[in-house]
Structure 1
Amino acid sequence: MSENEVLKTFDSHYRQIGTATRQAAHTYGFWHETFHCWFYIIKEHELFIYFQKRSATKKDFPNQLDITAAGHLLAEESVTDGFREVKEELGIEITMDQVECLGVFPVEICLKNFIDNEFTNVYLVEQEILLGDFQLQEEEVDSLFSISLASLKKLFNDPSAKMTLTGYRQKNLHQEIVEESFFKQDFCTNAQSYYNRLISSFEKILENQRRTID
């Protein structure tokens, strides 16, 4: 997305108050609206979450593990227009009956020369992603990795912990299976409260699934 594209801006209660460019929103910390879509799968009583590894050429957070598919919502877009990001970044078509809405997570991140105040509209899709099921937008996404919920919690609770993940890399339209090791610092910067709420939501989903089986 261009730094000059226009976004809606909001007050701290999620009431629209105007518009601004993406660059201005991140320079002055204007509240704006984003879309997050997490893919996950439950296999053998464990829940696995898909992360994309951002391209090395990305301006912000290159080579970091991030939301499966996400993006900023433009001033003229509705929240559900954000599902274009899934098609653009992953090449995967989904229908609204596959989607579960987790609600809106406020996120506040303040880094040097980057103030990110977002109302993130968070959605889940329970769908396994296999080699050949996707077509990555290579200038945006380098690869996809899945990590178990238990491993994710361990990484976030112990910054020294290291996990070797299996995933799929795509380059020049060629896809291959790869293994790569990650620490907590390799995950894209986000508010800890966001990850805590996300992990709690996945824990409830897994517990409900286990109760259904039992």
Structure 2
Amino acid sequence: MNEKLTVFNEEEQPMGVKSREDIHRDGDWHETFQCWFYELNKEGIFVYFQKRAEDKKEFPGLYDITAAGHIEAGEGVVMAGLREIEEEIGINVSSSELIAAGTFKQDLSDGNLKDREICRVFLYAWDGRRGFYIGEEVADVIKVELYSFKDLVNGEVRSVPFKSVLTENSSILSIDHLVPHERAYYQFIIKAITENVEKL
């Protein structure tokens, strides 16, 4: 079923409704919910990524936002987000636990895909007490030390270690393994997590 999404102009004003397929074809601005899980423990600050399933149409097998999705026409941002979190990684989160981190506009155009997103970004402080139960769109969930990830994003290192939270296997993450968000987007996320931790 093709989702119906609200189309926005450059000033983020709603301009109508179109199918997701048509929006990605035409390069219309549309909203997405994005939630980054992070964990603060005695070993440091860790950020969580999902590995997209290999059969995903867009960016299969690459590591991406912990949980994210399009906001359907007429759907509230937070309600859409809570649904996406539960569907993708099996975690039931309340709206009061989400930390609003702001909006980031980005263009993920790649080939025939013209994905111009108004990203409504949220954080979630993960305590590690519950297990992840991934949906069919997700192949794995991993965690990476935040400042190592910052070095990777800034080009100071070529790869960083990560650990799967599902299998506990360890491996190496390079920039090519990530969904190609803009560097400024990843820097925005790192800054948001860092500032939030500093408030604790």
Q: CA deviation at 1:61?
A: 0.6
In 1, the alpha carbon distance for the partners of 2:24 and 2:45 equals: 34
TM-score (norm 1): 0.87
How many Å separate the matches in 2 of 1:164 and 1:45? 14
Query: Hey, what does 2:86 align to over in structure 1?
Result: 87
- Superposition RMSD on alpha carbons, in Å? 1.7
Structure 2 counterpart of 1:141, one-letter code:
V
- Which sections of structure 2, spanning at least 5 residues, go unmatched? none
Partner of 1:143: 140
Match of 1:20 in 2: 18
Q: Structure 1 unaligned segments of length 5 or more: list them.
A: 170-175, 210-214
- 1:45 deviates by 6.7
CA distance in 2, matches of 1:109, 1:60: 10
- 1:53-93 CA distance string (max 9 Å, x none): 11111111111110000000111211112210011011111
Structure 1 residue 97, shift from structure 2 partner: 2.0
Runs of 4 or more consecutive aligned structure 1 residues displaced over 4 Å after TM superposition: none
Counterpart of 2:117 in structure 1 is 118
Q: CA deviation at 1:8?
A: 0.4
Is the 8 Å Cα contact of residues 159 and 184 (structure 1) preserved in structure 2?
Answer: no
1:78-118 CA-to-partner distances (Å, cap 9, x unmatched) read: 11122100110111111122111112211122221111111
- The alignment covers a number of residue pairs equal to 199
Distance in 2 of aligned mates of 1:58 and 1:129: 27
Q: Percent identity at matched positions? A: 32
1:143-168 Cα shifts (integer Å, max 9, x gaps): 11111111101111227612221113
- Code of the aligned partner of 2:184: S
Structure 2 CA distance, aligned partners of 1:165 and 1:197? 21
CA contact (8 A) 1:46 1:206 kept: no
Distance 2:31 2:132 in 1: 26
Q: Distance in 2 between matches of 1:160 and 1:194?
A: 18
Deviation at 1:129, TM superposition (A): 3.4
Match of 1:172?
Answer: none
Q: Separation in 2 of the partners of 1:168 and 1:71?
A: 22
Query: Kindly tell me: are residues 208 and 76 of structure 1, through their superposed partners in 2, closer, same or farther at Cα, counting changes over 3 Å?
Result: closer
> Where does 1:12-91 land on structure 2 (aligned, <5 Å)?
12-44=10-42, 46-82=44-80, 83-91=82-90
